Amino acid sequence: MTAASTRIYAIIAREAPVAVIFRRGPSQFVQMLKWNLKDDTFEHGQWLNGRIYERRADVSPSGKYVIYFAAKYKGPMTSWTAISKPPYLTAVALWEGMGAWGGGGLFDSDTRIQLNHSPSRMKLIDTFTLPAEVEIVPCGENSGSGEDSPVMDMRMERDGWTQTQFGEEQFEIDLYGLTEGVGDLEALQETFGFLEGGKIFAEKFFKAKEEIKEKKAEKRKTNQYDMFMTLDPPDIHVKPDGECVLEMTTFGFHETDGPPWVQEYRVLSKSGDELVALGKTDWADWDHNGDLLYSQNGLIFRAKKDNLKNPILLIDLTGSVFSPVSAPDEFRTW
């Protein structure tokens, strides 16, 4: 496995020096880790031979619990939402999923949880029980809809991110070579396989005029990244901390031989001057103390708030390999 195949995404607890890490790589293996932000030690946890949709996950304010959405797309339960105690994936609460749609949720507190399932799919699996003080509520008005959104958007806004530019989707895969008769959605999915981003809506492509196709072909030549879907203009989110602003730019999705999310980060001054350009980065955020935390190619870094240009490598997770891990008894119950 190469460093480029290792993807890191982390979520920082709001009221504790704890972060939960989802380490993905190879593509169908995910490990959860617990990161102690006080001393930068890492507790390696369980693996899943499947897919965890990390952007639909959340960590409780205390850092004691995590809610996540996972799928194998086979077996009696093809997808599910679970609450567990990091760094273990073993569920203390479990709900059957709805295919690739919805799933995951948000912690309003350690005992009040928004579950991103439709009202008809909110029933807890029979073998699980919840403590009396735990309240499960739908995730917004359209609970269970969407994919990474709305959970990711709601969590980012809650945690201090603001969207300053909205991207426009431009699909880069060439569907125009197909015959008109392949416009059926099922036929398209059979041709291209299952896409995590959802179904391809054929009419969006087949109705385009010839000159639009030619313009898109020329535009594709100038793109910085080769992706299934480009955002042009890109999405831009910012998160201030003290005198600095962390900027995240999302250029698109499903890069060829690259990550599913193509993003670059940089640190700006309040006036908008560039202080540090991180370039292509899997994840970045501010620590509670103002330090910059980020991951690139399976490596996790900390840059002190007064020395942002000289990051410290904390851990290299590129060499991690799957191994069966059993959760201790104290991680199997609330």
In 3-state terms the chain splits into helix, strand, coil percentages (rounded to 5) of 15, 40, 45
- The residue written with tokens 């007064």 in the block is 306
DSSP class of residue 98? B
**Does residue 113 sit within a domain?**
yes
Nearest C-alpha neighbor of 206 from the set 232, 188, 226, 229: 188
Give the domain range for residue 6. Answer: 1-158
pLDDT of 205 reads 47
Q: Is the pLDDT of residue 197 over 60?
A: no
pLDDT of 198 reads 40
Stretch among 21-25, 97-101, 153-157 having the lowest mean pLDDT = 97-101
**Does residue 18 sit within a domain?**
yes
Q: Is the pLDDT of residue 57 over 70?
A: yes
Residue 300 pairs with which residues in a beta bridge? 295, 315
Distance CA 50, CA 82 (A): 14
Over range 266-279, report the average pLDDT. 97
What is the full DSSP assignment across 235-265? EEEEEEETTEEEEEEEEEEEETTS-SEEEEE
**Does residue 311 sit within a domain?**
no
**Does residue 328 sit within a domain?**
no
pTM for this predicted structure: 0.85
**Does residue 25 sit within a domain?**
yes
What tens digit of pLDDT does each residue of 3-42 get? 448 999 999 999 999 999 999 998 789 999 999 999 999 9
What tens digit of pLDDT does each residue of 160-183 get? 999 999 998 886 544 445 444 444
**Does residue 179 sit within a domain?**
no
**Does residue 333 sit within a domain?**
no
The residues near 62 (Cβ < 8 Å, ≥ 6 apart) are 13, 15, 16, 18, 110
Domain total of the chain: 1
Q: Is the pLDDT of residue 206 over 60?
A: no
Over range 314-334, report the average pLDDT. 96
**Does residue 272 sit within a domain?**
no
